[in-house]
C-alpha cells in the first residue's frame, strides 16, 4: 500500500513538473496561487523572476541549478541556521544499493557539504553509519530523509536520474562508501 501511494505521488509530481513555467518565465507572486494578491505586503517581496534569473539555469523544478550557482559564486548560503557552524567539505560518496528496479543511488557529500554543516543532517535526519538508515522512496516522497529538502528547496523528486545514477555493473568491487573519509 505504501509503495502504491509513493508511485501515485511520483506520477502526480511528474505531471506537476511538466506544467512548471520554463526558465526565464517565472510566475509573478500575484499569479502563483500561493500568495494573496490582495495583501499589500506582496509589494515588499521580490518577484521570482528578478531573484532567480541571475542564477545558473536548470531544466527542472524552480529552474535554478543551485550547485552551479554556488560554484560560480552567485550565492553564498549560510552553513547553519544560527551561523555558528562552518562547513566541512567532504568528498565521501555513499552508494545505496537497495533501489531495485532502479539504478543504484550514489549520494555525493561534496555538493551537500558546500551548502551546510554536517550537523544539519547528522544525526537528526541521517545516522552516519552504513545501512543504518531505512531509506525508501515512500519515505522520501512523504518528506523524510532526502525528501526533507528535495522537492522543497532543492531539485524535485521527479528528476529520478539525478539520484538513480549508478549502474551496478560499473561498481565492480567498490565498497558502499567511497572517497575521502570512507571506512
Per residue in 81-128, pLDDT (tens digit) is 777 777 789 999 999 988 989 999 999 999 999 888 888 899 899 998
Position with higher pLDDT, 85 vs 65: 65
Question: What single-letter DSSP state applies at residue 47?
Answer: P
Domain segments of the chain as ranges: 2-178
* pTM exceeding 0.75: no
Distance CA 160, CA 85 (A): 31
Nearest by Cα to 50 from 65, 29, 35, 33: 29
Q: What is the Cα–Cα distance from 145 to 127, expressed in whole angstroms? A: 10
pLDDT at 136 over 60: yes
Return the percentage of the chain with pLDDT > 70, whole number. Answer: 80
**Mean pLDDT value across the chain:** 81
- The residue length of the chain stands at 183
Q: In this predicted structure, what is the pLDDT of residue 57?
A: 94
Choose which CATH entry (3.30.750.210, 3.30.420.40, 3.90.10.10, 3.50.50.60) describes domain 2-178: 3.90.10.10
Give the C-alpha distances (Å, rounded to integers) separating 181 from 92, 164, 172.
Answer: 6, 23, 20
Amino acid at each position: 500500500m505504501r509503495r502504491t501511494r509513493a508511485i501515485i505521488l511520483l506520477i502526480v509530481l511528474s505531471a506537476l513538473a511538466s506544467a512548471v513555467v520554463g526558465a526565464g518565465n517565472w510566475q509573478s507572486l500575484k499569479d502563483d496561487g500561493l500568495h494573496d494578491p490582495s495583501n499589500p505586503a506582496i509589494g515588499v517581496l521580490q518577484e521570482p523572476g528578478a531573484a532567480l534569473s541571475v542564477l545558473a539555469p536548470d531544466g527542472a523544478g524552480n529552474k535554478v541549478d543551485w550547485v552551479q550557482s554556488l560554484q560560480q559564486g552567485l550565492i553564498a548560503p549560510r552553513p547553519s541556521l544560527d551561523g555558528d557552524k562552518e562547513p566541512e567539505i567532504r568528498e565521501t560518496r555513499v552508494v545505496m544499493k537497495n533501489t531495485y528496479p532502479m539504478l543504484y543511488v550514489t549520494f555525493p557529500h561534496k555538493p551537500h557539504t558546500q551548502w551546510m554543516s554536517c550537523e544539519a543532517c547528522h544525526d537528526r535526519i541521517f545516522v552516519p553509519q552504513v545501512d543504518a538508515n531505512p531509506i525508501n522512496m515512500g519515505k522520501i516522497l512523504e518528506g523524510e530523509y532526502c525528501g526533507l529538502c528535495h522537492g522543497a528547496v532543492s531539485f524535485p523528486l521527479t528528476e529520478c536520474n539525478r539520484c538513480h545514477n549508478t549502474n551496478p555493473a560499473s561498481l565492480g568491487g567498490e565498497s558502499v562508501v567511497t572517497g575521502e573519509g570512507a571506512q
